[in-house]
Amino acid sequence: MSDVIGFIGLGFMGLGMASNIRKGGYDLWVKGRRNRAPVESLVSQGAQEAASPREMAEKCDIIHLCLSNSPQIEATMRGPDGILAGARPGLIVIDTSTADPASTEALAAELGEKGGHFVDAPLGGTPVQAEAGQLIAMVGCDDDILERIRPVIECWAGTVNHIGPAGAGHKMKLLMNFISLSYGALYSEALVLGARVGISPQTIRDVIAPSRMGCGFFDTFMSYAVDRNRDAHKFSIANAAKDIRYLNDMAANANVVNIMAGAAKHYYTQAVATGHEEDYVPMLSDHVGALNGVDLDDVVRKGRKGGVD
């Protein structure tokens, strides 16, 4: 493999992705944050650690970003020791984060002025799929750049969808998360309303899961709501609130009435405002329950015994 690959952001998704790039035979440079364990794991697999994004840009041909939000991405790109400071002609940055498309388009223009290419390739899937190399990639870039980077992306993605030019991938990801996070709010309301009228979460799952309304997101959501499996869907409410906020901004910029997205946003904003930003998305059901004086954990226990009060 001739390309040298960089990876910045080794969280739930990034660690599995970077590990698969290394398994694909590529020379790999990594940069983590506070948690040293992912860095040390990858170094033990033969990766090297970069001191800064600038150093990575000076050494790598392709750099992946897997960060939490657009301010982090912008700081990584534009900081005094950022990627733009060390960018060489031909450098490709693949941003796999979920980001504000307007920011993405601006960064693509700035890197383009240095002869580089900014690609947005946000993810669909879970940390388990990241480890297995079976994520979905929604790619925004020119055709020739996609073919240049496809072998690298296929190290961590089982499906590669070319959405359009730079920025289009992040727009598609926001639409995907609009649907899933609205489901999260809808499921939460349905569970609480069901509890109020005597229908247990178990019964709701038993009826909906095998129907046409069942889906993978429903299954993982209910794995927490019914089975109380905290790790069933490890996506934080903080990230959910950020994504639905970006979606609402995109709708405002497009002059689109978005009543559903606005309603969903308030549930996630309320959970963040009350100190629950590190909870995972299925736990939103508990917060909606609390707003209505319903303890869903207690309801589930009673459901196991055969009834809901």
Token readout for 295 is: 């303890």
Say how far apart CA 144 and CA 188 lie, in whole Å.
44
pTM of the model: 0.92
Q: Which residues are catalytic?
A: 173
Instruction: Assign 304 a pLDDT band (cuts: 50, 70, 90).
Output: confident
For 94, phi then psi, to 5°, come to -110, 110
Say how far apart CA 158 and CA 275 lie, in whole Å.
36
Give the pLDDT mean for 136-159: 98
Instruction: Assign 33 a pLDDT band (cuts: 50, 70, 90).
Output: confident
Q: Which domains does the chain have, with CATH numbers?
A: 4-165 (3.40.50.720), 171-304 (1.10.1040.10)
Residues 6+ apart with CB under 8 A from 7: 14, 17, 18, 21, 28, 29, 30, 31, 42, 63, 64, 66
pLDDT 10s digits, 249-272: 999 999 999 999 999 999 999 999
pLDDT of residue 1 exceeding 80, the answer is: no
pLDDT score of 230: 94
pLDDT of residue 19 exceeding 50, the answer is: yes
Q: Which residue has the higher pLDDT, 34 or 60?
A: 60
pLDDT of residue 48 exceeding 50, the answer is: yes
Q: What angle do CA 276, 277, 281 make, to 5 degrees?
A: 90
Say how far apart CA 82 and CA 69 lie, in whole Å.
16
pLDDT of residue 309 exceeding 70, the answer is: no
